[in-house]
Amino acid sequence: MTPEKRSWNMGRIRSKDTKPEKTVRSLLHKLGYRFRIHRKDLPGKPDIVMPKFKTVIFVHGCFWHRHKGCKYAYNPKSRQEFWKEKFQGNIKRDKKKRYELERLGWKVLIIWECQLKDLTIVQNKIESSLYNQNNGQQNASVDTKKPRR
């Protein structure tokens, strides 16, 4: 682990994963979207829920949730078995949550922590997901006009 990576990681730990989530929430707020947080009645208690768009957003740490191809999702050199199990558990849980939410008709959007460096990209990602209906699900309130934010 390079010092740069270590300090990045420590930063994540210290902030208890709340800061990236806050960043996304304040971005949505600024854009005028309404949302709810940590709805306990939904599988996996999604970080952000946008009922109007039937969309949930998870803000994932790249390291813990194994962002594919991301430099922050490196493999620790020590205790490899421990980490392998840990990561596999996380990936499995994430998949299960996603599956359960999709079965309930929710669209699941993952924002990776490393993407928060450029909020324009995050905004595009969120908006294209919210207004893109080509996932086979119908959402009548969205196709005709841009909903009131």
Count of other CB atoms within 10 angstroms of residue 116: 17
Angle at 80 between CA 47 and CA 8, to 5 degrees: 50
Complex with Zn ion: residue 20 or 43, whichever CB lies closer: 20
Task: Name the pairing type of β-strands 36-37 and 48-50.
Answer: antiparallel
Q: Residue 62 interacts with Zn ion (CB under 5 A)?
A: yes
Give the binding range for Zn ion (CB under 5 A) out of 53-61, 66-74, 84-92, 133-141: 66-74
Question: Residues 11-40 vs Zn ion: string with x where CB under 5 A?
Answer: ------------------------------
Nearest to 57 by CA among 8, 22, 11: 22
Q: Residue 114 interacts with Zn ion (CB under 5 A)?
A: yes
Q: Residue 67 interacts with Zn ion (CB under 5 A)?
A: yes
State both tokens at 117.
């460096």
# residues near Zn ion by CB under 5 A? 5
State both tokens at 36.
């709810």
* Cα 87 from Cα 109, distance rounded (Å): 20
Least Å from the CB of residue 67 to Zn ion: 3
* Cα 3 from Cα 7, distance rounded (Å): 6
Q: Residue 112 interacts with Zn ion (CB under 5 A)?
A: yes
Least Å from the CB of residue 70 to Zn ion: 3
Binding site for Zn ion (CB under 5 A): 62, 67, 70, 112, 114
